Amino acid sequence: MKKIQLDDCTINVIDEGEGKPILFVHGFPLDHRMWREQRTSFSSNYRVIIPDLRGFGKSGVTEGTVSMAQFADDLNKILTELKVYEPVVYCGLSMGGYIAWEFARRYPERLSGLIVCDSKALPDSDDTRQTRQHSATELRENGTDNVVFAMMPKMFGMTTRAENKKLVEEFRQMMLDANPEGMAAGQLGMADRADATTFLSDINVPTLLIGGEEDIISPVLEMQEISNKMPHAQFVEIPKAGHLAPLEKPVEVNDAIRKFIDQL
Q: Is 95 in the site for ligand MLT (CB under 6 A)?
A: yes
Cα 169 to Cα 166, 175, 176: the distances in Å are 5, 10, 10
Q: Does position 101 bind ligand MLT by CB under 6 A?
A: no
Answer for which of 21, 27, 113, 206 binds ligand MLT (CB under 6 A) is: 27
Minimum distance between the CB of residue 185 and ligand MLT, rounded to whole angstroms?
Answer: 13
Exposure string of 151-167, with b = 16+ CB inside 10 Å and e = fewer, is bbeebbbebbbeeeeee
The CA distance from 103 to 146, in Å, is 31
Binding of residue 135 to ligand MLT (CB under 6 A): no
For ligand MLT, how many residues bind (rule: CB under 6 A)?
7
**Rounded CA gap, 252 and 141, in Å?**
40
Site for ligand MLT in 175-234 (CB under 6 A): 190, 217
**CB of 34 or CB of 261, closer to ligand MLT:** 34
CA distance 57 to 44: 24
CB contact at 8 A, 224 and 235: yes
Candidate residues 94, 144, 207, 227; the one interacting with ligand MLT per rule CB under 6 A: 94
Nearer to ligand MLT, 100 or 203 (CB): 100
Strand partners, 25: 92
Q: Which residues form the interface with ligand MLT (CB under 6 A)?
A: 27-28, 94-95, 190, 217, 243
